[in-house]
Amino acid sequence: MTNSINFTKMQGIGNDFVIVEGCEVKKHNLDYSELAIKMCDRNFGIGADGLIIVNPPEINANTDTSWRIFNSDGSEPQMCGNGIRCFAKYVYDKGIVTKKSFSIHTLAGTIIPEILDSGEVRVDMGKPILEAKQIPTSIDNVDQVIDYTVEVEDKSFNINAISMGNPHCIIFTEDDSEYMAKTYGPKFEKLGLFPEKTNVEFVKILSSDRIKVDVWERGCGITLACGTGACASTVAAILNNLVNNFVIVDLPGGSLKVEWVKNNSFNKVFMTGSSEFVFEGKYFLY
């Protein structure tokens, strides 16, 4: 029907997305932000943490494929780790790309995923951004925000600010990390130290190679998983000498494998995890 568009629902360890191909939205000249708000609504729409556009017609990049992603509130993040795995699985299984390793144009730069024989997706997430102004933060008296003390509601927190293409505020805690994320996540998201707002991770160290992460996601709130958050939390834990360079990250929706490979000539984070199709359908526009 002419008043509908085709969509696919996918999820990566509980972080769920509605995926629409660019040719579908081009037919109707749709506003991405408005579409995301409507389609992601869990009561009146399909329900998802975000909307992914496959090969948006306005992007002409020198990569194998491209995407845009929008949060459920209509905002556009630079990057999404679980979303990029779902996108990679989608374009490979649909035959949009035929190589198992390929390039994706994103607002965070070119991202390289690889479809593994196991069905998991390993993503080269690139170099973590540690420079305070590039994250960005408004903290101007330090080069890096690592184990930096701030006061929120008369409570002292030691924060770590890292970007994986989007800003993250990581806080290590021995308290209930789920409770802390729900209670203090929204306060840190809009804290004046982060001019573009921030994702917030409360992290418990379980061992030298395993951490537990609860996430308050910028523009979404509490989510079951956050791929870039898992990467940023791992980098922060390594910088604070709390874990090894390869870590299992336990999130409410499942686990990811994150490795920070760094030497004199190489500096990249790799994330490996699952992504699954849920269902397909038609969404009626009016």
- Annotated catalytic sites, by residue? 80, 226
Residue 239: strand, helix, or coil: helix
Alpha helices in 94-226, H assignment, sequence order = 177-189
Q: 30: burial class by Cβ within 10 Å (0-12, 13-18, 19+)?
A: middle
Length of the chain: 286
Provide φ and ψ at 280, rounded to 5°. -125, 160
- Tokens coding 30: 């749709």
Question: In angstroms, what CA-CA distances link 212 with 51, 101, 173, 178, 209?
Answer: 27, 29, 10, 10, 11
CA end-to-end span of the chain, whole Å? 11
Q: Find where tokens 């090969």 sit.
A: 55
d(CA 66, CA 88): 10
**99 Cβ contact partners less than 8 Å away, ≥ 6 residues apart:** 64
DSSP codes joined into one string, 89-115: HHHHHTTS--SSB--EEETTEEEEEEE
Single out the residue of 48, 47, 1, 57 nearest to residue 25, CA to CA.
57
Q: β-strand 121-126 against 148-152: which pairing, if any?
A: unpaired
